Amino acid sequence: MLTDIGFRYAEGLRTGEDIEATLKLWFRSGPVCYPYGSPAYHQTDDSGAGRVTSSLSNLADEFRWLERLLGSEWLQQAQVAERRAVALKVLRVHGIGALLRRAGASGVPDDALWNEAERAYWSDISSRLYAFAGGSLPELSRRDAELTQAAAAAADVQSLRTAVERHRAAGRLGDLVPASPAAILSRDSVLRHYLTERLRARAGVFSRS
Question: What was the pLDDT predicted at 166?
Answer: 98
The answer to whether the predicted template modeling score (pTM) of the entire model surpasses 0.75 is yes
CA–CA distance, 45 with 10 (Å, rounded to integer): 24
Distance in angstroms between the alpha carbons of the first and the last residue of the chain: 30
Question: What was the pLDDT predicted at 124?
Answer: 98
CA 146 to chain centre: 15
Question: What was the pLDDT predicted at 155?
Answer: 97
Which candidate, 82, 190, 209, 80, places its Cα nearest to that of 145? 190
Return the SS3 of 121: helix
Model confidence over 65-89: pLDDT tens digits? 999 999 999 999 999 999 999 999 9
Question: What was the pLDDT predicted at 31?
Answer: 80
Return the SS3 of 141: strand
Q: Which residues of the chain have pLDDT under 50?
A: 52-53
